[in-house]
Amino acid sequence: MGLGIPSRMNAIVCHAPMDYRLEKIPTPRAGKGDIVAKVGACGICASDVKCYHGAARMWGNQTQARVVKTPVVPGHESIGTVVEISSEAKEKFGLDVGDKAVAEQILPCWNCRFCNSGHYWMCQHDHVFGFQGGIDDGGFAEYMKYPKGSVVHKVPKELSDDIGAMIEPLACAIHAVDRADPKLDDVMVIAGMGPIGLCMLQVAKLRNPKLLIALDAKEERLSLAKKLGADVTINVVKEDPVVQVMRLSDNWGCDVYLEASGNTDAVVQGLRMIRKIGTFVEFGVYRERVAVDWSIIGDAKELNILGSHLGPYRYPLAIRYLNESIVRVDQIVTHKFPLERFHDGLEVSSKASGGAIKVLVVS
């Protein structure tokens, strides 16, 4: 069953680094277990920008599981309205035509060691929407398929697409803060006040650490971080953040450091400012490999080093936080571009020009 779905649609198709084209391609249709949604909005992620510019993390670095397989429709931060749904998906997810929905960014295989142990977000096949062509096509299009096996969530109809496109980033932020597990007496530092960093900040504030410090190189983002709950903001270009954090923590160093900038310098900076037996959570995605003195981690400080990947089991909470305005993203979503101006959106997002923080593509 469907709502007048056209046979062909507009979509951004990735063919190679720097080769993204607006094309007319067949509109996906729902087979057994599938859902097709009309995309309302899809956010441009920092990983999309890095992928466009050919970062090794996405394009064939053999130490990584995920590489881009073209042609593919990018985009994994989307929200849509159901236009076609199989009876199996309708029963499984409680959805119907006309409902708003979001699919988690990974399409698990449900057969590997990690899926079978409940760690589906670490699926061995690592099929994240928008990076591998075919069933993994993403949301920079008029329509998107949530294939059988997707993890899909119903979204309140009153939640706007502009806000709903932040469900995926917020779920990632919640997972990262959960991994960091800040305590009431902790000095917590979050590096990088991009869209996810600003979400992490608000989620961390709910944990009520003793001191919550935001780091960034852009004054306008630090100003927003202050409004959204940071106790202290530090411009890493104007001040030495290590010196300042040591001063603010009575020279012990921060208890928790959450890296969300994707800047290689921020990793070294974090290792310097964190206290002994502190917790370092790595979320950022880097263009290049990061070189650090690993003796700091063991011999010098015996740190707890944790990774954070995607937003498993956190979508329902992210949806509630946004719907109830517990986490505010209205000032984080700053720009919108139609599909036809995708490259303009990518440029604005890449350079953070015009005060851009989160840039959306709308169809």
Grouping H, G, I as helix, E, B as strand and the rest as coil, residue 117 is coil
- Tell whether the model's pLDDT for residue 221 goes beyond 70: yes
- Tell whether the model's pLDDT for residue 65 goes beyond 60: no
Q: What is the pLDDT of residues 47-60, one digit of tens each?
A: 999 899 887 556 66
Grouping H, G, I as helix, E, B as strand and the rest as coil, residue 170 is helix
Confidence band, pLDDT 50/70/90 cuts, at residue 27: very high
Contact 244, 176 (CB under 8 A): no
Pairwise CA distance, residues 137 & 193, whole Å: 29
Average pLDDT of the segment spanning 129-153: 94
Within 10 A of 90 (CB to CB), how many other CB atoms are there? 17
N- to C-terminal Cα distance for the chain?
22
User: Which amino acid does the sequence have at 198?
Assistant: L
More confident residue, 65 or 158: 158
Q: Tell me, what's the pLDDT at 126? A: 84
Q: Where in the chain is the domain with CATH 3.90.180.10?
A: 8-166+332-362
- CATH superfamily ID and name for 173-307: NAD(P)-binding Rossmann-like Domain (3.40.50.720)
Q: Is the pTM of this model over 0.85?
A: yes
Q: Tell me, what's the pLDDT at 289? A: 83
Q: Tell me, what's the pLDDT at 56? A: 59
- Tell whether the model's pLDDT for residue 287 goes beyond 70: yes
Q: Tell me, what's the pLDDT at 135? A: 81
Fold annotation for 8-166+332-362:
Quinone Oxidoreductase; Chain A, domain 1 (3.90.180)
Q: Tell me, what's the pLDDT at 124? A: 93
Q: Where does 14-141 have alpha helices with state H?
A: 46-52, 87-93, 113-116
Beta bridge partners of 141: 11
Average pLDDT over the chain reads 94
Q: What is the pLDDT of residues 228-281, one digit of tens each?
A: 999 999 999 999 999 999 999 999 999 999 999 999 999 999 999 999 999 999
Q: Tell me, what's the pLDDT at 64? A: 52
Q: Nearest 5°: phi and psi at 80?
A: -150, 175
Q: Tell me, what's the pLDDT at 59? A: 64
Confidence band, pLDDT 50/70/90 cuts, at residue 3: low
- Tell whether the model's pLDDT for residue 45 goes beyond 70: yes
Lowest-confidence segment of 119-128, 185-194, 328-337 by average pLDDT: 119-128
Q: Where in the chain is the domain with CATH 3.40.50.720?
A: 173-307
